Structure 1
Amino acid sequence: MFKKMLFLTACSSMIAASAVAHAEQLIMGTESTYPPFEYTDTKNGSEIVGFDIDMVRMLGQKAGFTIKVVSMGFDALIPAILSKQIDIAGAAITITEERAKKVGFTQPYYDSGLSILVRKADKDVYKTDKDLQNKIICGQIGNSGMTYAKTIPGAKTKTFNTMNEAYMELRNKGCAAVIGDRPTIGYFMASNPRNAKIFSHQSQILNVEQFGFIVAKDNKALLDRMNKALREAKKDGSYQAVMTKWFGQ
């Protein structure tokens, strides 16, 4: 009986290993300068890591695929999906009606919101978005923060390829504030104690947003697999494990 159990265990391990070895490999596009969602881990070579990467890898384990991660500009992600250069896009992408006309979104995997970053000297000057009327606002090109900034009366926008460039422009007094995803700005503030001496992360949450992963609109099979895996992950605790790793919640 014991030998039979060992044989069955060995067979199960071989089957699992074979499944991993033959799993479909998909290309995931991301914009790797947006911690903690995705960034290049220079301490361990040039690996792209982050919440989004771990989340898609976890979904892939359930849905039967692995991923190869490639980095590109945020505004290049949807065109890359449309031209079939990549299979999945994940970069803290807000689900919007406009984007959903072009691509397929998974069910939401993260609830976020926008917030304001200002120079510490201006923390009592620009407390809310109303204080930014007729001011210059910085942010990342393609980010929903810039879409929101355009709704502020009289405000002008300056867009950059990365949030780090927007932060630098704010520090150099090239704009009054940066508007971006609240968890990303929060991570920036927590990542270096010096940032708290230079900037102030204002308390106002401008609106609630939901992030989704993107696939081609005609790839319903992949969309269904990812959504099924996401539902399973939320039930069995693997989704929460990834959340806890990156956000402690």
Structure 2
Amino acid sequence: MKKKLYLLASILLVIGILTACGSNKGSGNNNASGNNSGNEAKEAKQTFDVQKVEVTPTELTGENIDRIKEKGEIVLGTSAEYPPYEWHIIDGAEDEIVGVDLEIAKVVAEKLGVELKVSDMQFDGLLAALQTGDIDFVIAGMVITETRKQAADFSEPYFEQGQDIVIKKVDEDKFKTIDDLAGKKIGVQLGTTQQEYAEANFDAEIVAIPNNNNMIMELKNGSLDAVFMTNYPAEQFRSRSPEDLMVVDFDIPNEDGSGIAVKKGNSDLLAVMNEAVEEIKAANAIESWFDTFMKLSEETE
């Protein structure tokens, strides 16, 4: 039965952040790369309503479910520099990670009746952390691929989106088609499906960079000629520098759907993830969350 949908008119709740040793690699760039501080960020958060999903507690049991319930918390692994999926908002001493993926994680935690903890790390280290047990699940706009399915088990997809190229505005007349980028330097995030696609399909020098914020800075300073990423984050980075950057659509095929990853073999926990995805889809919440967090990202720049 479809669950009822309602609006929660309140401030975005602060999610406890668990910083594992070494998990914040490269995070020294956070403040300089679109994370906000002070009263402006706080005021912006207060104006946004986040659609909530009516969550049914899971009746599933299993070794991993029981372990998490006994511990009283579940640890999410994510890479919080990818708005509107997830990014930092800093208000004085308060560092909050917000975004679409965090809302999904809240649903998972609520289904299990436990507290949500967040471990923020570089994207290319997420599946390794899952395998070593440092985190319980991954939600980071991670696309389901055959290669990744060898390292982790994935839920049903919760979202699919397109892929775009970001260039400097001054190069608008220079790069009209993807062929115009032949031999040029195109930045991609390390370990992503954009890296795989670009290396297989673009006749260009592909530069893999761990951090999206650093990649955009490399584009601005001329070290890169273009950046290849999914369209929501591409639009967010453009909106932060509308005088300098633009997004161009070269009819690149959509990427495959994004899913929630758990350690391979954790079938009981995977079943909970699929329950959460089903409830979220039934409530049509994903589109609403993207709209909300796109706007919030622009307001808190």
- TM-score (structure 1 length as normaliser): 0.83
Tell me by how many angstroms 1:106 deviates. Answer: 0.9
The whole-number CA distance in structure 2 between the counterparts of 1:96 and 1:174 is 30
Gaps of 5+ in 1: 1-15
State the SS of the aligned residue for 1:67.
strand
Q: Which amino acid aligns with 1:204?
A: F
1:28 aligns with 2:76: yes
Contact 1:27/1:68 (8 A) holds in 2: yes
Match 2:273 to one of 212, 221, 226: 226
Match 2:210 to one of 150, 158, 161: 161
State the SS of the aligned residue for 1:46.
strand
The whole-number CA distance in structure 2 between the counterparts of 1:136 and 1:53 is 33
Match 2:168 to one of 73, 98, 119: 119
The whole-number CA distance in structure 2 between the counterparts of 1:105 and 1:66 is 22
Q: Which amino acid aligns with 1:208?
A: N
Gaps of 5+ in 2: 1-56, 58-68, 296-301
Higher helix share: 1
Tell me by how many angstroms 1:130 deviates. Answer: 2.4
Q: Which amino acid aligns with 1:34?
A: Y
Q: 1:126 to 1:207 in 2, by over 3 A?
A: same
Q: 1:201 to 1:224 in 2, by over 3 A?
A: same
Report Cα offsets for 1:152-191 as digits up to 9, x if no partner. Answer: 354112222211111111111112110011100111222x
Report Cα offsets for 1:56-96 as digits up to 9, x if no partner. Answer: 10233234443200111111100001111111111111111
The whole-number CA distance in structure 1 between the counterparts of 2:288 and 2:70 is 26
Cross-structure match for 1:208: 254
Tell me by how many angstroms 1:136 deviates. Answer: 1.1
Cross-structure match for 2:220: 171
Contact 2:81/2:212 (8 A) holds in 1: yes
Question: What CA RMSD, in Å, does the superposition of the two structures yield over aligned residues?
Answer: 2.2
Q: 1:122 to 1:243 in 2, by over 3 A?
A: closer
Report Cα offsets for 1:200-222 as digits up to 9, x if no partner. Answer: 11023412121111101111101
Q: Which amino acid aligns with 1:57?
A: K
Instruction: Determine which structure has more spread, i.e. the larger CA radius of gyration.
Output: 1
State the SS of the aligned residue for 2:200.
coil
Q: 1:93 to 1:32 in 2, by over 3 A?
A: same
Tell me by how many angstroms 1:233 deviates. Answer: 2.6
- TM-score (structure 2 length as normaliser): 0.69
1:197 aligns with 2:243: yes
Match 2:85 to one of 30, 37, 43: 37
Report Cα offsets for 1:118-165 as digits up to 9, x if no partner. Answer: 111111222332222221111221122222221235411222221111
Q: 1:155 to 1:52 in 2, by over 3 A?
A: same
Aligned residues between the structures: 226
Report Cα offsets for 1:11-66 as digits up to 9, x if no partner. Answer: xxxxx9xxxx9894111011111111111111361121111011110233234443
1:109 aligns with 2:158: yes
